[in-house]
Amino acid sequence: MRHLTSKTWAALAAVALIGTSPALAADAPVVVKTANGPVQATERGVMRSYFGIPFAAPPVGDLRWKAPAPAAKWTAPIARSKTAAACLQTGPDSPFRTRGDSEDCLYLDVHTPTGKGPHPVMVWIHGGAFTTGDASTYADPGPMVSRGVIVVAIHYRLGAMGFLAHPALRDAGGSAGDYGMMDQQAALRWVRANISAFGGDARNVTIFGESAGGFSVLTHLASPQSKGLFDKAIIESGAYGVADQLTQAGMETKSQAALETAMAGQDVGAACAGGTVTAACLRGLPDAVVRGKLMSAFERATGGVVPSIDGKVLTQSIKATFAAGANNKVPVINGSNENENLLFLALTEMGARLAAKPPNFNPADRSFLMTAEGFNKGAEVMAAQTGLSASALAGYYPLNRHGDDVGLQPSLAAAAAGTDSTFSCNGVNVSARIAAQGSPIWMYEFRDQTAVPLFGMFGGKYGLSLPQGAAHAFELPYLFGMASAAQNAEQNALKATMSTYWTNFARRGNPNGSGTPVWAGFRGGAVQALDVASGGGVTGMTADAFRDQHLCKTAWAKQTF
């Protein structure tokens, strides 16, 4: 991801572990006839799940690096009990990489509730920095499905397979790249055409996603090709890099560099003989080059993958599209987490502990924490990227304002700077822009400091010195059934409130309803705190309380949306 902190303190990712749902009966048909063929449900108590439905043809061979083609028809019911293979992932050593990945990956899962439809439809777009992740992580949307909505979880091509824009790949209109976004659009078209057969309301579709999934939602709000494919949108920690998309020319240059790196010294096949790179050459590249070299080379060359201005999916940057008022206007929920970047700093600590000989998971040993010197070095790197001086950055985030534990202060200050610059200030600005256009917009900040960490547990004990608080992706177990889900009555109450807000919004374009605290719209500057009762509860606050607006308008002025 090409945001401010990608080369300093962290690399984004969104991860979680799936769990199980409570046992109830489902009313959706056991076998559903889609336009291409029948699919058979797996009984899962609170829901019936239809796994691994192809929404496009496998993007392999001559279809590699092309817009998704229609799926073939079939006659025997597809009866799978789990999600299909994830799309090809970047980084074999990444802790967030899904194993068993494949180029043949354009499938989706449909999870249907009890009761008679038509049910509102929520289409989930997974996160993972556009390089990792898949639908299996979110295979238990029981907290939402049990409230009467259908949840569809989709796959889309990732990394180089989804976003490479080599000049040899230009289509008849001259555009290249953003195939992963085209996959998402194809899945949304599939939902419009088929979801009524599952008891869904094809005229009431909400897209939602977290991290790269949230960025994807923003991209659909900006894409002319996505107009009419959805009716509402929820952006979770996705308002980063809003002005950071490469032009097609820029992405083509980065893609060429990545390809040269990946092909150097490799057996690239007969189609590439003579050194001329053609579409046939690229589509014939062997798996060893694509999987083993190109995926990681492309991520390094781009500094992190985000959709580019390809001329088709995006005709200009997301920021420019919204500034011109040319975005797709629907009701929106937008938000982020209080301690987003603590996840990435904790990942850094975990990596250092794993690299120790022997590995060290004694949290009392604080030698793996960031030091004051490390904070200052990070500030210098960020200063070079932003135009701020390192001294100004240190002045905005003085260590002594970040708790009484001197050993934690550098990490907490670094996390606050990264959270503000990457997520919080951008999020406020995105919400303000949507509100100014007159579209309904609600904003939240997830604040539960007691949230169960998504990683760092060893032998049932937390093995890191750095607490993660309400870090990046930590709201996900409050919407999906996951192994790190709510553990006590307070957390379960917050989970019920959040899943009710999300499904109320999907049902009628407003998160409010009986039994939940009133959530005021952002148009007056209101932000809803989402916290357990002992931490402050679910209550409204102003944007100024949410984030110091002086910082958003001074330190991070370049991030203004």
Q: Which domains does the chain have, with CATH numbers?
A: 1-330 (3.40.50.1820), 334-559 (3.40.50.1820)
Residues 6+ apart with CB under 8 A from 226: 185, 188, 219, 220, 328
- The SS3 call for residue 203 is strand
The low-confidence residues of the chain, meaning pLDDT below 50, are 1-26
| Predicted pLDDT of residue 84 | 97
Q: Which of 166, 178, 193, 239 is CA-nearest to residue 55?
A: 193
Cα-based angle 344, 350, 356 (whole degrees, multiple of 5): 145
| Predicted pLDDT of residue 457 | 86
* Dihedrals phi, psi of 509, to nearest 5 degrees: 75, 20
* Dihedral, 322, 324, 326, 330 alpha carbons, nearest 10: 40
On whether the CB atoms of residues 319 and 283 are closer than 8 A, the answer is: no
On whether the CB atoms of residues 448 and 338 are closer than 8 A, the answer is: no
The token pair that represents 344 in the structure block = 């990435």
| Predicted pLDDT of residue 91 | 64
Give dist(CA 148, CA 130) in Å, integer: 30
Give dist(CA 35, CA 127) in Å, integer: 28
What angle, 0 to 180 degrees and rounded to 10, lies between the N-to-C axes of helices 248-263 and 295-302? 140
* Dihedrals phi, psi of 87, to nearest 5 degrees: -70, 155
Measured distance between the N- and C-terminal CA atoms of the chain, rounded to whole angstroms? 17
Cα-based angle 234, 348, 427 (whole degrees, multiple of 5): 25
Residue with structure tokens 């979680």? Answer: 16
What per-residue string of b and e applies to 484-501 under the rule 16 or more CB within 10 Å gives b?
Answer: bbbeeebbeebbbbbbbb
Q: Which of 146, 69, 68 is CA-nearest to residue 114?
A: 146
| Predicted pLDDT of residue 17 | 29
For residue 57, CA distances in Å to 24, 60, 64, 239, 247 come to 35, 9, 10, 31, 28
Determine whether 456 is exposed, middle or buried from the number of CB atoms within 10 Å of its CB (0-12, 13-18, 19+): buried
| Predicted pLDDT of residue 486 | 61
Strand locations in 180-308, DSSP E?
200-210, 232-236
